[in-house]
Structure 1
Amino acid sequence: MVCVGEALWDLIAPEGIPLERAKLLRRVPGGGAVNTATALARLGVPSGVCAALGDDALGRGLRDEVAAAGVDVSRLALGAARTGLMFVATERGEARFLGYRQGEPEARALAAALPARWQTRVVHFTGIAPVRGAIGAVARSAAVARREGCAVSIDVNARPRVWPRGRAAGEPGPGVRGCFRMLAEADLVKCSVGDLEVMGATARALRERLRPEATLVVTDGAQATLVLGPGGERSVAPRPVRPLDPTGAGDAFCAGMLASLVWQDRAGWGDAALMLRAVARGHDVARAWVRRKRG
């Protein structure tokens, strides 16, 4: 499986200390593609990352650390765009993020790094910035993956700062509209309630934009996960966990789902029972991820 999208460093303050007062920061590989691929490797699924990093000490260090976690980094491209940084602080169970990112250069560098052929079973796109032009290249790459026979999975990960609104209140911007082209290639789309708010869409409206055989999975933190597929709507409740540092839990959830689906034929991904088992495993892997980060 190849995970496409974000690769960056998470710089994490000690628990309970705000970024304003943090003297020491723990450096951890992060970004949706890296987190998902790393979690898949821990689950025994051969995984790789396709992303763009800076050709600098931070980029090379991130590449080497991801490789040491058992992830294939042959599709990681080192270039002119700076390696992204995300500062994270957790106070009273709520995570605060402060990103130092180059949105458009990162998106265009990723578009340039996409391979002509994928040669894998599943391609998972995550944290794709809806930059006009670049998002079109990603949508075409998803279509290439489908033509090769790969299953296509997408974690929307809609960040408010990089998903601009249109001029009218609540109207998606042109890059967001372009993102719907990519979603139309997916066999599985995962998003959160927060993602839907940023996109200005409802779960049912988004489901109507997908392929008839595709499944939409909508998470809502500790609340029940909604599954909308060819067989109708279902909900799956996760077991509770105290999320002192939830960073990356959504990526781990995707890894758990995909680990259950990767060896299944793409045509079978629309089976309701299979997808519900995959969502339940996603909950378990996300719970383990949070517990591991708590130490």
Structure 2
Amino acid sequence: MDHKTRQTRIEPAEVVCVGEALWDLIAPEGIPLERAKLLRRVPGGGAVNTATALARLGVPSGLCAAVGDDALGRGLRDEVAAAGVDVSRLALGAARTGLMFAAIERGEARFLGYRQGDIEARALAAATPARWQTRVVHFTGIAPVRGAVGAVARAAASARREGCAVSVDANARPRMWPRAERAAGEPGAGVRGWFRLLGEADLVKCSVGDLDVLGTTARALRDRLRPEATLVVTDGARATLVLGPGGERSVAPRPVRPLDPTGAGDAFCAGMLASLVWQERAAWADATLMLRAVARGHDVARAWVRRKRG
């Protein structure tokens, strides 16, 4: 069965996930990367993880990303498509397909990336479509690369004009954020463009770790969002903070012993979006609806971290 045949059987996407698409190369559990002899190759990246989790939940999902027009990129495209994800918005081009090496030790993940961050960001910006033709557009792991992130923010604004709900997972990578600019209080064009992207969102998810990378607090970040938007802040196994138009609430997840924590935040987003996707965009401001979505996110993330990928 070829790639084109597989795609004709996939339903039109109700949620399009925009961002990273790469290969995770995972060492056997408990073996550090320094001593690993064999690595498992698994599709990864925030957009891939979220789209795949949505497909498993029965929500038709799509992927908008950029990978290399090479064996690794085509292989990644085909494997994601085989998981039931619409890859018609995936661009094959000059950007080298990213690789992320990972080792899981005592339930903690260590990463080592081989990426072309600026090139990937610009290729992604070029891959965003003129029309989305979906219900929800979800942005994840968008790097604050000058020029590129501004184009992504404009794509988010276009999605809103089209009537789509917009969600953003901050998924901030420390090495991608210019700390010196933030410390000086003079953020560059890339950082300003990234906050413009957040300004288009109906829902923003970030972790406590993301807030540290961004050099801000939950309440300060909430103040940058649309009045009707909701900010969801996760903190591992601790309670999740929900800051929306109706005030602040917290939702505690059930305890879990993770086997593989990689991508748990992406699965959490998939659970929330699966709960919200069939609701009209205006309803996303409802506190009760959002709290139910967060609880669904916890359940999906819990199931995700308890399984082994392979």
Q: Is the 8 A contact 1:188 1:215 kept in 2?
A: yes
- The secondary structure found in structure 1 opposite 2:130 is coil
Judge conservation of contact 1:19–1:89 (CA < 8 Å) in 2.
yes
Counterparts in 2 of 1:173 and 1:158: CA distance versus 1, 3 Å: farther
Q: Which residue of 1 aligns with 2:4?
A: none
Are 1:134 and 2:134 an aligned pair? no
CA contact (8 A) 2:42 2:309 kept: no
Deviation at 1:91? 1.2
With normalisation by structure 2, the TM-score equals 0.93
Is the CA contact 2:260–2:307 (under 8 Å) kept in the aligned structure 1?
no
Q: Is the 8 A contact 1:154 1:190 kept in 2?
A: yes
Q: Which moved more, 1:237-246 or 1:273-282?
A: 237-246
- Do the aligned partners of 1:165 and 1:173 also contact (CA within 8 Å) in 2? no
1:234 matched to 2:249: yes
Q: CA deviation at 1:187?
A: 0.2
The match for 1:35 is 49
Q: CA deviation at 1:54?
A: 0.2
Q: Secondary structure at the match of 1:210?
A: coil
SS at match of 2:304: helix
How far apart are residue 168 of structure 1 and its match? 3.4
Q: CA–CA distance in 2 between the matches of 1:194 and 1:112?
A: 29
Q: Deviations over 1:169-205 (max 9, x none)?
A: 6865542232100000000000000101111110000
Moved more, 90-99 or 41-50: 90-99
Asked whether the equivalents of residues 272 and 297 of structure 2 are also in contact (C-alpha less than 8 Å), the reply is yes
Do the aligned partners of residues 173 and 88 (structure 1) sit closer, same or farther apart at CA in structure 2, a change above 3 Å counting?
Answer: farther
Call closer, same or farther: CA 1:233–1:38 in 2, change over 3 Å: same
- Are the equivalent residues in 2 in contact too, given 1:163–1:175 (CA < 8 A)? no
> What is the rounded CA distance, in whole Å, between the counterparts of 1:83 and 1:249 in structure 2?
22
Q: 2:259–2:307: 8 Å Cα contact kept in structure 1?
A: no
Q: In the alignment, is the contact (CA less than 8 A) between 1:241 and 1:287 conserved in 2?
A: yes
Figure out how many residues of one structure are paired with residues of the other and give that number: 295
List per-residue Cα deviations over 1:12-53 (Å, max 9, x = no partner).
Answer: 000000000000000000000000000000000000000000
SS at the partner of 1:235?
Answer: strand
Per the alignment, residue 190 of structure 1 pairs with: 205
For 1:48-79, what per-residue CA distance to the aligned partner results, in whole angstroms no more than 9, with x for missing partners? 00000000000000000000000000000000
1:104-138 CA-to-partner distances (Å, cap 9, x unmatched) read: 00000000101001010000000111100000000
CA positional deviation for 1:276: 0.3
| Contact map agreement 1:176 1:199 (CA 8 A) in 2 | no
- Mapped to 1, the partners of 2:209 and 2:29 lie a distance apart of 24
C-alpha displacement of 1:292: 1.6
Q: Map residues 173-212 of structure 1 onto 2, 5 A cutoff.
A: 173-212=188-227
**Please, what is the CA RMSD of the aligned residues?**
1.3
Residue 69 (structure 1) aligns with:
83
Give the Cα–Cα distance (whole angstroms) in 1 for the partners of residues 187 and 174 of structure 2.
11
Length-normalised TM-score, structure 1? 0.98
Deviation at 1:163, TM superposition (A): 1.3
* 2:308 partner SS: helix
Q: Quick one: which of 84, 98, 106 aligns to 1:92? A: 106
**Cross-structure match for 1:225:** 240
Q: State the distance in 2 between where 1:266 and 1:75 align.
A: 23
Aligned CA distance change for structure 1 residues 173 and 239 (closer, same or farther; 3 Å): farther
Provide the rounded CA distance (Å) in 1 between the counterparts of 2:219 and 2:52: 31
What runs of 5+ residues in structure 1 fail to find an aligned partner? none
Contact 1:163 1:173 in 2 (8 A): no
How much does 1:293 deviate? 2.2
Q: Gapped runs of 5+ residues in structure 2?
A: 1-14
State the shift of 1:255 in Å: 0.2
**What is the alpha-carbon distance in structure 2 between the residues aligned to residue 201 and residue 101 of structure 1?**
26
**Residues 46, 263 of structure 2: 8 Å contact kept:** yes
- Whole-angstrom CA distance in 1 between matches of 2:260 and 2:132: 34
The answer on whether the counterparts of 1:172 and 1:199 sit within 8 Å (CA) in structure 2 is no
For the 8 Å contact 1:165–1:171, the answer to whether it is kept is: no
* Segment of structure 1 superposing worse, 239-248 or 49-58: 239-248
Instruction: Find the aligned partners of 2:309 and 2:187 in 1 and give their Cα distance.
Output: 37
Give yes or no for contact 2:230–2:245 (8 Å, CA) kept in 1. yes
Counterparts in 2 of 1:115 and 1:89: CA distance versus 1, 3 Å: same
